[in-house]
Amino acid sequence: MKLGRVIGTVVATCRYEGLEGVKLLVVQPLDESLKPDGRPQVAADATAQAGPGELVFVVASREAAQALPEVFVPVDLAITGIVDEVALETGPRRQQPTARWRSPASKD
Amino acid sequence: MYIGKVIGSVVSTIKISHLEGRTLLLVDQLDLGGKETGAYDIAVDTVQAGPGDTVLVMDEGNGARQILGLDPGAIRTVVVGVVDEVTVGG
């Protein structure tokens, strides 16, 4: 799953069967510091409660359709949750490796 | 699967039922030298990993559904191990 920001809505009247009633939203993918990363995409809203401006997380590929009430639908991106808080570790725990790493690229 | 570092967590109240009661971790993929690459995933924790931990991440839907006991299940990325040691090219 990745973070994204809902930036718009999509209306499509004529749809493939099974997609009736599924809310479609335009989502801007974000990197881990919540900056835009890549092109906006259209996601099906599996929470049914997301709206423009909200920070969400999305699941891609085949798992997207599994988030919806009808599982066999042509969907490859779905909103699976609305983010309350992203707690990013920035202190020494992030810098200190917890695994011994032996490779030509590291001097450990 | 890939080796990553837990760089944080995500808190969410409104989410799909498959994610209820599960811990969501932000995991940054590591390169061959053990450094963060900036490529990240939000993964479901199964091993009580915490911030700073070097972890093993599985990014595949069928495996995720199998170990979490979900069908259908809209989860693809799961933290499945805590890494103690990595040796590459030696």
For chain B, the structural domain boundaries read: 2-82
Please, are residues A11 and A46 in contact by the beta-carbon 8 Å criterion? Answer: no
Q: Which residue on chain A is closest to B73 by alpha carbon?
A: A66
Write down the pLDDT at residue B1: 96
Which region holds residue B34: left if phi is over 0, alpha if psi is between -120 and 50, else beta? left
Q: Choose which CATH entry (3.90.550.10, 1.10.1510.10, 2.40.50.220, 3.40.50.920) describes domain B2-82.
A: 2.40.50.220
Q: How many beta-carbon contacts under 8 Å exist across A and B?
A: 149
Write down the pLDDT at residue A107: 59
pLDDT at residue A73 greater than cutoff 80:
yes
Please, are residues B18 and A67 in contact by the beta-carbon 8 Å criterion? Answer: yes
| CA distance to partner chain A, nearest, from residue B2 (Å) | 14
Stated as kind and residue range, the H or E segment containing B55 is: strand B54-59
Whether ipTM > 0.90 holds is yes
What are the residues whose beta carbons fall under 8 Å from the beta carbon of A55, sequence distance 6 or more?
Answer: A3, A4, A5, A30, A34, A82, A83, A86
Query: Of the candidates B7, B32, B83, which has its C-beta nearest A88's C-beta?
Result: B7
pLDDT tens for each residue of A43-70: 999 999 999 999 999 999 999 999 999 9
Q: Across the interface, do B51 and A94 touch by the CB < 8 Å criterion?
A: yes
Q: What is the Cα–Cα distance from A90 to B52, expressed in whole angstroms?
A: 9
Q: Across the interface, do A103 and B32 touch by the CB < 8 Å criterion?
A: yes
Stated as kind and residue range, the H or E segment containing B24 is: strand B24-30
In chain A, what are the domains? 2-95 (2.40.50.220)
Write down the pLDDT at residue A103: 84
Q: If you count DSSP H runs as helices and E runs as strands, how many of each does chain B have, helices first?
A: 1, 6
Average pLDDT, rounded, for chain B:
96
Q: Is A96 exposed, middle or buried (0-12, 13-18, 19+ CB in 10 A)?
A: exposed
Question: Which of B3, B14, B23 is the mutation pick for testing A, counting most A CBs within 10 A?
Answer: B14
Q: Quick check: A35 contacting B, CB < 8 Å? A: no
